[in-house]
Structures are given as C-alpha cells and as structure tokens.
C-alpha cells in the first residue's frame, strides 16, 4: 500500500506575522523572515509556508516571488483557529540575560497567557529589552506549533501591581521560606516569583496582605528564579490548567 503523504507536511516553515491574516491576503515578508525562507530554507515561488497571527489562527500561504530581502506571499487557507490558552499570568522579577530568555521561551511553550516583569526592591536588572524578549516568545511559538503568543506586559513595580490587583485572580506567591503545596483552584490565576535575592520582609507582608494571595512552597530546596517559575507553572497546569 502506498502511504498517502500528509498535506501540508508537518515540516513546513512556520512564521508569526504581526498583522491579521485572511484568505486571499497578499503580503510581503522581509528582514530576517525573508532571509530565513529564501537563504536558509531555500524556498522559492510556488513553495508553501505556514503563517500565524495570534488573532485568527494558522494559515497556509504560497510564495509568489522570492528575493533575498523580500518575499511576496498569498494567504491560501486557514489550517487552525487560534488555540485557547489557560488564564495564567507569570509575574517574574527580571533576571539576567540568558536566564530571562530561557524563562520567556519555556513559559511560552508551557502555555502562559501573560508575562509580567515585576520590579521589586532587590531586582538587579532594571532595563529590559522587550523586543528581544518578545522575539524569544515568538521563536518558541513558531517552533512548537503554537497559534497563540503570550502577552508581554510592560515592567511594573510590585507595589503598584498589588494595589490594582484584579479581585477574582488568585495570586500564587512562591515563597522559599515555606507555604502550602501549590494545588490550584479553577479560575484566573497568576504566579509570582521573586528575584535572585528574594523578596524583602516588607514586600513579603504586602503580598500576604492581599486577600487573593496564597503563599506556596516549591519544596525544601531553594531554586533559582527561572527553575522556580517553571516548577510553579507545571504544578498549576497539572491541577487547574489544560494539561
Ligand atoms: N531568597 C533566596 C532565594 C531567592 S530564589 C536567596 O537570596 O538565597 C528566587 C525566587 O524563586 C524566590 O523569591 C521564590 O519566589 C522562588 N523560589 C525559589 N525556591 C523556592 C521554593 N523552594 N519554594 C517556593 N519558591 C521558591
């Protein structure tokens, strides 16, 4: 029996585009995307790619014309609608480059809906390159067949965040000094991870004073902030998410 080749093949290049896609739409890809498709993947007129827009889902598109700097493509058919994402935010104190890139990539893969950099008293990294961080989220989503991207919020001060905290959103505060086991209740949620130097006592009491906050432990060993974030996301996803 001759195997029927799956179409479109799973290996088609997938790219995120920053505009809403629709059937018949013609668009130009340039910059690194054009370089990737023409020079790296060696695609040309008639070849197909998958595109997603974080709004309408994933589409099959055909290349009309390919140059080294620019490619024109036409969007053909919708392959999948945008996926639903569990309502989980990750609040993290920025950590140094490399580790934060890893954190953004992994949190995206795990299905976090919103990433919120939080400035705390002991936050050391205070300048964030949002464009670079967003690029890591995009790359993870492109590789992992995702049709949704996490929203990357502007960095905010912890005190301001706590003051305006949404009434119905649980806040799981990861505290290396101890707390309950993270078993999530259904409903909107957020995980708060501290900086490498931890939270100050003042911050710890402000967080605990918030009625929506729950102090959670991730075990008896102190974890680095990036590891703690991933462990907490796993626990939440396993109990209240869509795993
Ligand atoms: N205060 C510590 C470590 C901070 S670890 C120090 O300076 O040595 C960075 C963050 O990871 C913490 O603020 C906490 O949110 C989280 N974290 C690390 N280990 C944890 C654990 N075992 N349980 C809960 N949270 C933890």
Is the C-beta atom of 217 inside 6 A of ligand 1?
yes
* Nearest CA-CA partner of 212 in 167, 152, 181: 167
What pLDDT sits at residue 7? 53
SS3 state of residue 122: coil
Q: Which CATH class is domain 88-239?
A: alpha beta
Q: Report the separation in Å between the CA atom of 105 and the middle of ligand 1, taken as the mean of its atom positions.
A: 20
Q: Give the CA distances from residue 198 to residues 74, 157, 192, 201, 236, in Å, rounded to whole numbers and listed in that order.
A: 50, 15, 11, 9, 21
Is the C-beta atom of 58 inside 6 A of ligand 1?
no
Is the C-beta atom of 173 inside 6 A of ligand 1?
no
The CATH code belonging to domain 14-80 is 2.40.240.20
Is the C-beta atom of 197 inside 6 A of ligand 1?
yes
Is the C-beta atom of 86 inside 6 A of ligand 1?
no
Q: Report the separation in Å between the CA atom of 205 and the middle of ligand 1, taken as the mean of its atom positions.
A: 16
The residue assigned the tokens 């939080």 is 118
| pTM of the full structure | 0.92
CA distance 36 to 42: 8
Residue whose Cα lies nearest atom 1 of ligand 1: it is 198
Is the C-beta atom of 172 inside 6 A of ligand 1?
no
What pLDDT sits at residue 208? 96
Q: Average pLDDT for consecutive 10-residue bins of the chain (243 residues)?
A: 52 95 97 94 96 98 93 97 97 89 97 96 83 95 97 96 97 96 94 94 96 97 97 96 91
Is the separation of the CB atoms in 137 and 150 below 8 Å?
A: yes
Instruction: Report the atom number in ligand 1 closest to the C-alpha of 219.
Output: 22
Q: Report the separation in Å between the CA atom of 178 and the middle of ligand 1, taken as the mean of its atom positions.
A: 10
Domains of the chain, residue spans:
14-80, 88-239
């Amino acid at each position: 029996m001759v195997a029927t080749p799956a179409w479109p093949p799973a290996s088609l290049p997938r790219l995120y585009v920053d505009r809403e896609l629709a059937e018949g739409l013609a668009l130009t890809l340039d910059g690194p995307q054009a370089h990737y498709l023409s020079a790296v993947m060696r695609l040309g007129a008639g070849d197909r790619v998958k595109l997603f827009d974080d709004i309408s889902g994933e589409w099959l598109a055909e290349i009309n014309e390919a140059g080294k700097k620019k490619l024109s493509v036409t969007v053909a058919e919708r392959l999948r609608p945008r996926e639903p994402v569990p309502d989980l935010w990750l609040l993290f104190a920025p950590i140094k480059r490399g580790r934060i890139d890893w954190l953004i990539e992994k949190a995206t893969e795990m299905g976090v809906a919103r990433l919120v950099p939080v400035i705390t008293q002991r936050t050391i990294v205070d300048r964030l390159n949002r464009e670079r961080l967003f690029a890591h989220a995009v790359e993870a989503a492109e590789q992992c067949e995702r049709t949704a991207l996490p929203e990357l919020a502007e960095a905010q001060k912890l005190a301001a965040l706590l003051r305006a905290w949404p009434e119905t959103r649980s806040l799981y505060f990861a505290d290396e000094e101890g707390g309950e086991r993270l078993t999530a209740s259904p409903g909107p949620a957020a995980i708060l991870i501290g900086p490498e130097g931890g939270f100050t006592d003042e911050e710890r009491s402000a967080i605990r004073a918030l009625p929506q906050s729950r102090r959670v432990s991730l075990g008896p060993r102190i974890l680095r902030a990036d590891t703690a974030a991933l462990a907490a996301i796993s626990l939440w996803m396993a109990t209240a998410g869509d795993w």
